[in-house]
């Protein structure tokens, strides 16, 4: 699990064990989520007006149902500032993935997006499933390749064939669409990994159950305190430890690990279309490039 060859938050590479589990062969799609909403009446975080008490000192104009939408700039921008390509769009939600006036026409088999933690947890409970831990997700994504960079091997495009929906060209202003897609792609548009799992890399990031820490060392320290063997079924750290200490206290929210990269990962930015890659995602945040899949544990 992890990698010593890429971004620092992936280190250190280390051995863990996981008990048997079943994982969805594909991300949850818009059709799947539509069935869930029809059965339960669930209203997603992006469709609800935020409670001002939860966000003191926030501009009241922002207290509207909204979600983050990718808005490509027309020219190169500073890649250190994600606000150059993300916009907080009132009315954006899983039903309107690119904002007001858009809908799910033709997107039934695309991964659902604009789902925050409460939404994916509610879906999993309804389906009688759970969200995977980071270790479970990464084990599944590797498809039996223990130390390969990608879910299919060590070459991004073997024989020139694209294996996942990621960005080609200069992010964020020019996508050459060499893989055939600018936004999300239908589930199964690219080959499965060695376990027969679709879209484990690219297309959309996927929520996991683990709270985020900047590297794996804190979790490993807990394992060493009790035993020398590889840790089995690791579950990350506490919610309190996962918050971003750089934020003002009123803005701090627990963060969970997301995995797999998305259609916005590019060679010049965020080369995280790999099983070991990981990022934090605040539990109250939804965006147009994060989805999920579920697991059932056999024990």
What is the per-residue pLDDT across 50-75, written as a single tens digit (0 to 9) for each? 988 888 878 877 789 999 999 999 99
Categorize the per-residue pLDDT at 227 as very low, low, confident or very high, splitting at 50, 70 and 90: low
Mean pLDDT for the chain? 94
Q: Are 82 and 172 in contact (CB under 8 A)?
A: no
Listed in sequence order, the residues at least 6 apart from 127 whose beta carbon sits closer than 8 Å to its beta carbon are 36, 294
pLDDT of residue 2 exceeding 60 = yes
pLDDT of 284 above 70: yes
Q: Is the pLDDT of residue 212 over 80?
A: yes
Beta strand pairing status for 295-297 and 21-23? antiparallel
Which pLDDT score is estimated for 224?
52
What was the pLDDT predicted at 59?
A: 80
pLDDT at 53: 84
Q: How confident is the model at residue 226 (pLDDT cuts 50, 70, 90)?
A: low
pLDDT tens-digit series, residues 21-48: 999 999 999 999 999 999 999 999 999 9
Domain boundaries, the chain: 8-297
Task: Write down the pLDDT at residue 254.
Answer: 97
pLDDT exceeds cutoff 60 at 228: no
H-type helices in 97-172, by residue range?
117-127, 134-142
Identify the pLDDT of residue 250. 79
Tens of pLDDT, residues 165-207: 999 999 999 999 999 999 999 999 999 999 999 999 999 999 9
Question: What's the CA gap between 192 and 163, in Å, rounded?
Answer: 9
pLDDT over 60 (residue 129): yes
User: Is residue 222 scored above 60 in pLDDT?
Assistant: no
Q: What pLDDT does 121 receive?
A: 98
**Global pTM value:** 0.95
- Which tokens go with 148? 């390969």
**Higher pLDDT residue, 284 or 225?**
284
Helices (H), the chain: 30-40, 117-127, 134-142, 217-226
Determine the pLDDT at residue 231: 82
CATH 3.90.1580.10 for domain 8-297:
yes
Task: Look at residue 44 in the predicted model and tell me its pLDDT.
Answer: 98
117-127 and 30-40 helices, crossing angle to 10°: 80
């Amino acid at each position: 699990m992890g990698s010593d060859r890429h971004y620092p938050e992936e280190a250190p590479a280390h051995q863990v064990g996981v008990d048997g589990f079943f994982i969805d062969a594909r991300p949850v799609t818009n059709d799947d989520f539509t069935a869930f909403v029809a059965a339960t009446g669930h209203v997603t975080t992006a469709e609800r007006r935020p409670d001002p008490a939860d966000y003191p000192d926030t501009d009241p104009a922002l207290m509207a149902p909204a979600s983050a939408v990718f808005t490509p700039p027309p020219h190169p921008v500073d890649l250190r500032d994600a606000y150059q390509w993300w916009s907080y769009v009132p009315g954006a939600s899983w039903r309107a993935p690119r904002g007001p006036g858009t809908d799910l026409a033709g997107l039934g088999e695309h991964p659902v997006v604009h789902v925050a933690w409460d939404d994916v947890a509610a879906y999993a409970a309804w389906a009688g499933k759970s969200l995977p831990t980071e270790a479970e997700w990464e084990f599944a994504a590797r498809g039996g390749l223990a130390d390969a960079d990608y879910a299919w091997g060590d070459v991004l495009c073997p024989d020139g064939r694209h294996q996942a929906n990621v960005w080609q060209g200069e992010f964020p202003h020019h996508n050459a669409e060499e893989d055939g897609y600018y936004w999300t792609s239908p589930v199964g548009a690219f080959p499965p990994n060695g376990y027969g799992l679709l879209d484990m890399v690219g297309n959309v990031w996927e929520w996991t159950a683990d709270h985020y820490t900047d590297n794996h060392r804190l979790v490993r320290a807990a394992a060493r305190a009790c035993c020398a063997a590889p840790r089995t079924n690791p579950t990350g750290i506490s919610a309190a430890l996962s918050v971003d200490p750089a934020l003002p206290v009123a803005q701090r929210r627990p963060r969970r690990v997301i995995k797999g990269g998305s259609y916005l990962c590019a060679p010049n930015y965020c080369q995280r279309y790999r099983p070991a890659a990981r990022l934090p995602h605040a539990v109250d945040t939804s965006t147009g490039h994060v989805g999920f899949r579920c697991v059932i544990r056999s024990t």
